[in-house]
Chains A and B, each alone.
Chain A
Amino acid sequence: MIQKNHIHHLVEFAVGLSFGIGLMLSGMTDPGKVIGFLDLFGTWDPSLALVMGGAIMVGFFAFTVAKKRTTTFLGGVLRFPTNMDIDKKLVIGSLMFGTGWGLAGFCPGPALVSMADGQPKALVFVLAMLVGMLGFELMDRFVHAPRKAKLNAA
């Protein structure tokens, strides 16, 4: 018998696959195109505005439907983000991310797809990104969490 779990895993794979294909087709996996978009004061390539526009057009419709529901189409939990805080963490983190994005022209999804496509620089980028992610986890666990606990105790 096919269980709900199996359907979920099939969907995860299919969504990952189509997302990757969408990234390649849109030009997001070409750092030259990303930097061309970010280069407002040079010769500007507006393509990525259309990528975002197309994605949000469909996404807006989907999330409008999702917000009105209490469960998924399969009767599962809808996991909406619960964090609403606009804080230093959000802004500083995003500024760091944007700086890295502008330096190499890679954001996480396209970098992973380019790595799978056999681009050596994408592999270097992904390895550095994983070091960064792990570094953040360790910082969070051993520096931020204890500091917060101390503050709460005081």
Chain B
Amino acid sequence: MSIDWTYFTPWASLTGGIILGLASAIFILVNGRILGISGILGGLFPPKVGDTTWRIAFMLGLFAAPAVFHAVVPVQYITAPRIEASDFLVVAAGLLVGIGTRYASGCTSGHGVCGLSRLSPRSLVATASFMGAGFITVYVMRHVI
């Protein structure tokens, strides 16, 4: 293993992480809800009566983020995302993420951030499983195939 110093962004990542933590903190303490993206989104497909407005309000905020981010952050600090996967792989990945997160009732935010923060053994198992699968998948894709 060697560290990728070119792309390593300790301060931006730590600050971003703290913002993610603060958002999750406000969501549980003020609204009494766990901030889990796959659950919030999945609950809209299909929608249930009386359980959609809060999900949509959250999603609208999430969708407004890029516009606000670009308005606030100077352009020289923004790096273009590197998306290397082919369309076929992107579709396969999307299907796996969609089915998997619903099956496990959570993703990086619900299990990874909120679950680990509240020391849930269930979320620890989920996080270890998806991280482990992620490490293995990238190992196979980059160093085996």
A interface residues (Cβ-Cβ under 8 A, vs B): 7-9, 11-33, 35-36, 38-48, 50-63, 65-67, 69, 71-74, 76-81, 83-86, 89-109, 111-114, 116-119, 121-122, 124-137
Contact = CB atoms under 8 A, between A and B. Distances in A.
Contact of B21 (A23, A48, A54): A54
A17 B94 contact: no
Given A112-B62, A128-B95, A136-B102, A97 B130 contact: yes
Contacts of A77: 32
A29 B4 contact: no
B4 A94 contact: no
Contacts of B143: 41-42
Interface centre among A52, A74, A96, A130 (most CB of B within 10 A): A96
B106 to A, nearest CB: 8
Instruction: Give chain B's interface secondary structure class.
Output: helix
B138 A9 contact: no
A16 B58 contact: yes
A112 B41 contact: yes
Given A9-B54, A9-B57, A67 B118 contact: yes
Contact of B28 (A12, A46, A63, A83): A63
